[in-house]
Structure 1
């Protein structure tokens, strides 16, 4: 099946017909049909269903556990030191943030299922847009160049989905457009095979995509594909046991020369108009949001409403005209320590509010314990604030140029080439923008980079991946509050470096096997 959504950006601003129509020749005979269809593939990243933010098009899953960006937030952020969710009676979250999850966790099922939906939607678009199909439907030649570009983007979105499966679950079933619709038994790819599959897909599609910054915000281009390749190679030693830092540096340098630039104001990357303000020069790929047309309980909605402090009642800091969610999110003391020191007092990235609060959290259910911060807001870069309730216009920045600066420094220190002076310069670009103190070459170490990544990229769904790459997620080298379940934190087994394949997914596909230790 194929399902359509509304997307809100420029030429992707379309209203889909009945979802069943996406399999109908009559639908594809309409002008702009393929534009609508690719918008539906993209919308799977932002929305969960076509009947409003509480609906889900995945049977058996609710909207709160099956939104793509929120799944990334749950698994990449709340499993780490970056955030604590107050309401542990919400299904699955206690086990995620205490690193005690099992294969029956509903958040894991939601993420795995939503990612596989992205694969399915991409495949269906590719089936419906072959040359044979276009000929059957007498699609004019003038439309075919755009359709070819949409096909490349669909292949990228499928590769992105498999990249996330590689990172979080380590294996996945192989489905492409040649497999019969309705098949639930794709052959399993192990982590090495999955790595090679994503690598091949991205390299093959790269030349068919628009040049960097050559399409509207929210669509993928060559820069986006190069970003995923750079990420793939930076983490290759974790994924396959073989370091690929030179390959990572190759794509990092290409991105740095591709015309992106840092926003002058760090916080513009997280404001309500970040899909149209200067942040569009920095955000390499973002999941779009639109209050009027595409509402969901995605990561930005959660981190704005959830970020409102129970003590502070500071909903106005987030641009919200509702009281927020009663202090749903706090940060761990260990994360707060990353901003200790006079050099971070005026750092734009340091949005921690500490007045009247203590750092320590002894009772997760007490929202008055622990520190809070402000990252995402619905306030626009010109200071205006639309009177919205709960939902926002703020896009989720999945990939930013700032990350590329940090990746260059790390790849260099890990032997990937480049120069030390350039690495330091790129780091100082970020610190200068944030009004922080510059560093010198002797200060650039891997430990510094890990902490700087936390300061620059927190709540952007990178932290779990970073901690694993630096050897500090499992084991006892780095302990944070509630790691492993206890308030003071304890070491966790290395099996936790991968999530289990959801039990329901195993029962659906007999070719899948469980990850070790689960």
Structure 2
């Protein structure tokens, strides 16, 4: 049985850590574009502090502030628009063909889901800022754990042995932040632990970020704990391998080079790490996914706890938001009866993926009774189907500790995605084995109790794109997938409300990247706007 990484239980230590950080620089509070954060020497008088400071780096993925879910440690940025997992979900899922948010008066959501965003969008500022805060936290940890610093504090050999692993994890969290900035914005303010404090950061473009992320992950791979051997909620070799597989799968988008063979290699490494599919598909999305069979499948989660780490993160949003305005099914999923009154629904194109062959598929959690499939008016919460994928109930039928803030961890990376990446990379010429690829797809279908398995002739790129949507919907992958397939921008694939048209219209190619937030450019003159904005 696994327990969640101590950072999610010892919240007071994390709060002290974050307060220490943000009190040091106004620039970081506004939008972390530089690297001026420093830690107090007093913090390290106790050698246990090193793990606690590492915990703060992970905590930045889940927490937004020190005074509860409404607080934000990013000045002038609302907590609801800067929680890492939530803004990742919005930028990768709400912007595509799977999800609709009913309350368009919420800052930034209307523009994201209608594909009419600008550089003033607060959700984009939240994503850009939160990712850069991850970098700043990691850099400061690395500065404070050099051999010279450890020598000056007479740190014991036992603690030093652990710090070597901690440093690799900090570098991994930093590389992951740069990976998401490369994917979403195509550039980032760049600083590492060797960048002078108070220096104006240089800007890395996509090619530079790709090279940096790749080299960092390759360099630390052997220093990380073996797959599935670390504390739950902490990163291991498989997390680094997952990000490598992701950048290689998308390399033609990022750097106009094919690296599908490398994608296959890293998928094989992850699969060899001892992961297995959860016994039930839905175990991955329940309140006990840190202890049920999903622990065999989830490679890296963003941890959520309804008591100690209350936040408006992606699982809290999706569980409460997917309670239907008509169905009022909140009691079933462990939140209030009415949830958030029909805040979330699915678009017609996603609903249409589930034909008769998927009627009994466990991945099909669509609730369509008394509802039309179309959403002609986004404010009409009674239109469009809803889904019940995420739940604040456990696999044994108990409910989460809180009726709003869920215990359900967000599965940022899981084995099912690796299976699908392997199959796609094989089809794109990366090597591997056709029979193996087909076997992986059928394993997903069998686990979902779908009697319709496929043969080698069924395995096409179009099939994989649809199967990825069925398997991985609402897991913050869809925008990236559609861009890789050339279907996000332009007009060869339109979905409801794409481009602000009820039936969807073409959007320009420069929308494959988000704009650099205006506030971030103001803070760093080296940052320039992406073309087209």
Q: Same fold (TM over 0.5)?
A: yes
- 2:514, 2:523 → 1: CA distance? 18
- 1:8, 1:47 → 2: CA distance? 15
Structure 1 position 423 matched with structure 2 position 437: yes
**Residue 188 (structure 1) aligned to one of 182, 203, 206:** 203
Structure 1 position 117 matched with structure 2 position 113: no
Unaligned runs of 5+ in 1: 1-6
Q: How does 1:136-215 map to 2 (within 5 A)?
A: 136-183=152-199, 185-215=200-230
Q: CA deviation at 1:321?
A: 3.4
SS of 1:338's partner is coil
| 1:11–1:507 distance in 2 versus 1, CA, 3 Å | closer
Corresponding residue number in structure 2 for 1:18 = 16
Q: Which moved more, 1:322-331 or 1:153-162?
A: 322-331
| 1:444–1:426 distance in 2 versus 1, CA, 3 Å | same
Is the Cα contact below 8 Å between 2:307 and 2:402 reproduced in 1? no
Corresponding residue number in structure 1 for 2:277 = 262
Q: How does 1:242-391 map to 2 (within 5 A)?
A: 242-321=257-336, 323-340=338-355, 342-391=356-405
- 1:402, 1:29 → 2: CA distance? 44
SS of 1:207's partner is helix
- 2:288, 2:81 → 1: CA distance? 26
Corresponding residue number in structure 1 for 2:454 = 439
- 2:152, 2:515 → 1: CA distance? 44
Is the Cα contact below 8 Å between 2:4 and 2:303 reproduced in 1? yes
- 2:7, 2:409 → 1: CA distance? 17
Corresponding residue number in structure 2 for 1:449 = 464
SS of 1:385's partner is coil
Is the Cα contact below 8 Å between 1:166 and 1:172 reproduced in 2? yes
**Residue 529 (structure 2) aligned to one of 504, 514, 518:** 514
Corresponding residue number in structure 2 for 1:225 = 240
Q: How does 1:408-419 map to 2 (within 5 A)?
A: 408-419=422-433
Structure 1 position 81 matched with structure 2 position 97: yes
Q: CA deviation at 1:9?
A: 2.3
- 1:10, 1:65 → 2: CA distance? 26
Q: Which moved more, 1:266-275 or 1:173-182?
A: 173-182
Q: Which moved more, 1:155-164 or 1:470-479?
A: 470-479
Q: Which moved more, 1:14-23 or 1:230-239?
A: 14-23
- 1:489, 1:244 → 2: CA distance? 33
Is the Cα contact below 8 Å between 1:75 and 1:96 reproduced in 2? yes
| 1:387–1:220 distance in 2 versus 1, CA, 3 Å | closer
Q: CA deviation at 1:386?
A: 3.5
Q: Which moved more, 1:132-141 or 1:40-49?
A: 132-141
- 1:94, 1:10 → 2: CA distance? 37
Q: Deviations over 1:108-160 (max 9, x none)?
A: 00100000000001101111111111111111111111111111000000000
- 1:327, 1:202 → 2: CA distance? 41
Q: CA deviation at 1:31?
A: 3.8
Is the Cα contact below 8 Å between 1:49 and 1:57 reproduced in 2? yes
Q: Deviations over 1:384-442 (max 9, x none)?
A: 11452210111000000000000011000000001111110000000001011101111
- 1:151, 1:317 → 2: CA distance? 42
- 1:195, 1:307 → 2: CA distance? 36
| 1:417–1:49 distance in 2 versus 1, CA, 3 Å | same
SS of 1:398's partner is strand
SS of 2:223's partner is coil
Q: CA deviation at 1:192?
A: 0.8
- 1:72, 1:465 → 2: CA distance? 11
Q: Deviations over 1:177-225 (max 9, x none)?
A: 1223344x31111111111111111111111110111101111100010
Q: CA deviation at 1:322?
A: 5.1
Structure 1 position 239 matched with structure 2 position 276: no
Unaligned runs of 5+ in 2: 22-38
Structure 1 position 9 matched with structure 2 position 2: no
Corresponding pairs, count:
510
SS of 2:495's partner is coil
Is the Cα contact below 8 Å between 1:80 and 1:97 reproduced in 2? yes
- 1:12, 1:489 → 2: CA distance? 42
SS of 1:284's partner is strand
SS of 2:402's partner is coil
Q: CA deviation at 1:381?
A: 1.1
SS of 2:424's partner is helix
- 2:463, 2:374 → 1: CA distance? 24
Is the Cα contact below 8 Å between 1:321 and 1:388 reproduced in 2? no
Corresponding residue number in structure 2 for 1:459 = 474
Q: CA deviation at 1:10?
A: 4.4
Corresponding residue number in structure 1 for 2:36 = none
SS of 2:243's partner is helix
Is the Cα contact below 8 Å between 1:8 and 1:294 reproduced in 2? no
TM-score (norm 1): 0.97
Is the Cα contact below 8 Å between 2:287 and 2:400 reproduced in 1? no
- 1:151, 1:418 → 2: CA distance? 34
- 2:44, 2:51 → 1: CA distance? 10
User: What RMSD, in angstroms, separates the aligned Cα atoms of the two structures?
Assistant: 1.3
